[in-house]
């Protein structure tokens, strides 16, 4: 075994953000009721990439998310169908090579518009409790996560 793999094995499990899929959420809620945090992003969004590299790698954010939430990172322009809450959500093309996934539109619209990144907190009954459509620093996100816990 190399030194690099030894170091990786010794990383505390709470320093790695656990990602879930929408299709897993109903089963997870039966095991343990938790709020959901959905991070809506796109590949071309610089603010989204920045949040992935900073806020979502912050150890205090990872700890809160892993312990108190089910975290879903969702590309709002992905083309795969998604089964969630007994409904199949599809990609909706809006031009030649553009479009938005209808699941992103269903949960991510703020004042009728969608922009990226968008953070959506849903309670364990999958009801939207909070939406924010802008970059969040670790400090800002930590305050939101701490105040939004629970139903």
DSSP 128: E
**In this structure, are residues 91 and 78 in contact, taking their beta carbons and an 8 Å threshold?**
yes
Residue 95 has pLDDT above 90, yes or no: no
Structure tokens at 136: 């969040």
pLDDT at 12: 55
Sorted by where each begins, the domain ranges of the chain are: 17-76+115-148
φ/ψ (deg, to 5) at 112: 80, -5
CA distances from 12 to 16, 63, 94, 121 (A): 8, 11, 43, 26
C-alpha R_g of the chain: 16
CA distances from 98 to 46, 78, 79, 88, 110 (A): 17, 10, 10, 20, 20
Residue 14 has pLDDT above 60, yes or no: no
Rounded Cα gap, residues 72 and 41, in angstroms: 11
Specify whether domain 17-76+115-148 bears CATH 3.40.30.10: yes
Per-residue pLDDT tens over the stretch 29-74: 999 999 999 999 999 999 999 999 999 999 999 999 999 999 999 9
Peptide bond into 117 cis (omega under 30): yes
Residue 4 has pLDDT above 80, yes or no: no
């Amino acid at each position: 075994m190399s030194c690099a793999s030894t170091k990786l094995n010794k990383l505390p499990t709470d320093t790695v953000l656990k990602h879930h899929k929408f299709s897993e959420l109903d089963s997870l809620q039966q095991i343990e009721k938790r709020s959901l945090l959905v991070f809506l992003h796109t590949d071309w969004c610089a603010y989204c990439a920045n949040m992935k590299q900073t806020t979502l790698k912050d150890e205090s954010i990872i700890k809160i998310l892993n312990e108190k939430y089910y975290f879903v990172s969702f590309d709002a322009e992905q083309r795969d169908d998604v089964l969630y809450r007994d409904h199949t959500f599809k990609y909706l093309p809006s031009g030649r090579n553009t479009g938005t996934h209808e699941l992103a539109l269903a949960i991510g619209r703020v004042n009728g518009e969608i922009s990226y990144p968008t953070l959506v907190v849903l309670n364990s009954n999958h009801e939207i409790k909070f939406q924010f459509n802008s970059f969040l620093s670790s400090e800002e996100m930590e305050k939101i996560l701490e105040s939004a816990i629970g139903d």
